[in-house]
Amino acid sequence: MRALLSKQVGGPETLTLEELPDPTVAPGEVLVAVKACAINYPDVLIIEDKYQLKPPRPFAPGSEIAGVIEAVGGDVTALRIGDRVLGATGFNGLSEKVAVDQRRLYRMPDGMSFEQGASLLMTYGTSIHALLDRGHLKAGDTLLVLGAAGGIGLSVIELGKAFGARVVAAASSEEKAAAARAAGADEVLVYGRAPFDKDQSKALAEQFKAAVGPNGAQVIYDPVGGDYAEPALRSIGWEGRYLVVGFPAGIPKLPLNLTLLKSCDVCGVFWGAFAARDPKANAAHVEHLFRLWEAGKISPHVSETFALEDGGKAIAKLAGRGAIGKLVVRVAN
């Protein structure tokens, strides 16, 4: 089989396409013939040894796949050869075949493409856990979404609307703002590129406040971090929930007096740990997502596809914050 390997610490330019023996399956595992692998921000970090998961080299990046089960190990009862599945692998998704613990996989709904299947779990899984379990979002709430045109941002917009919220989307360009609006956002704003000085930070806070309205945002979803975090927090409403999801713009420092003044919560969102600690709750969320997809309320937005040998280009584009929606590598037809 072919795999796009990380053999040394570095950026996507260090990845090499090589031939490897097919994996073998242990008890409880299945062998998936990978059809599509979505690219996520952990793929940027893992090849640079900046992610909390550090697999031994050589390994292939790629943590979110869709494909067809080709073989099953002992003790596998829930899945069968020929099943179309999607799942989170942690790494090795940019390989033509991967051995996966059966508990990490879900049967895909009929009619869902492999590209969409590979784009569902990590973005929408993170977002539904964040909004319902951590943000306690309810109908009528105002939801502010930063980084709103990325794969995760668009998933939050769709889920926020499905749950009855008023969604205010913030993005870094007019093109991205248009994508957020097309996904269903009620209000859209375009912010500048960090870093910000004190006056620029204050101006961005006023921009957020004007967009969310006089009562502030009940939930703020921040997958960006950096200099955007404090201005966003200043727009939160009384007893609001600020959801900390990711830091592609850097790890921010927040003045905690703001949390006192608004009696608000700053909540960490770590979907991977949640899924591992409470697999039944995570499985229930996935089934909920499948129902929303079948009802047409969510639809992963795949903006661009790449061949396996160009997987590094997909990672580089995501790292450069140039992606709208999801970037997907077509591993096999």
Are 145 and 13 in a shared domain? no
pLDDT for the residue 333: 83
Phi, psi of 21 (to 5 degrees): -65, 150
Q: For the chain, what percent of residues have pLDDT higher than 90?
A: 93
Residue with tokens 């889920």: 159
Tell me if 74 is assigned to some domain.
Answer: yes
CATH number at 12 reads 3.90.180.10
Tell me if 294 is assigned to some domain.
Answer: no
Are 153 and 223 in a shared domain? yes
Q: What is the pLDDT of residues 188-223, one digit of tens each?
A: 999 998 999 999 999 999 999 999 999 999 999 999
Which pTM value belongs to this model? 0.92
Are 167 and 86 in a shared domain? no
Are 98 and 130 in a shared domain? no
Are 174 and 205 in a shared domain? yes
What string of DSSP letters covers 5-34?
EB-SSS-GGG-EEEE-PPPPPPTTEEEEEE
CA distance 316 to 277: 32
pLDDT for the residue 323: 86
- Estimate to the nearest angstrom the gap between the alpha carbon of 160 and the chain centroid: 15
Tell me if 41 is assigned to some domain.
Answer: yes
Tell me if 201 is assigned to some domain.
Answer: yes
Task: State how many domains the chain has.
Answer: 2
Are 102 and 128 in a shared domain? no
- Tokens representing residue 144 in the block: 């502010």
Tell me which of 271, 291, 322 is where a domain ends: 271
Tell me if 280 is assigned to some domain.
Answer: no
Tell me which of 232, 250, 271 is where a domain ends: 271
Are 134 and 230 in a shared domain? yes
pLDDT for the residue 53: 87
User: Which carries the bigger pLDDT value, residue 321 or residue 29?
Assistant: 29
- By residue range, what is the domain housing residue 260? 124-271
Are 129 and 224 in a shared domain? yes
Opening angle at CA 241, ends 162 and 193, nearest 5: 85
Are 205 and 244 in a shared domain? yes
Tell me if 177 is assigned to some domain.
Answer: yes
Tell me if 290 is assigned to some domain.
Answer: no
- Tokens representing residue 68 in the block: 């067809």
Are 149 and 252 in a shared domain? yes
Q: What is the mean pLDDT of residues 293-317?
A: 96
Are 187 and 137 in a shared domain? yes
pLDDT for the residue 141: 98
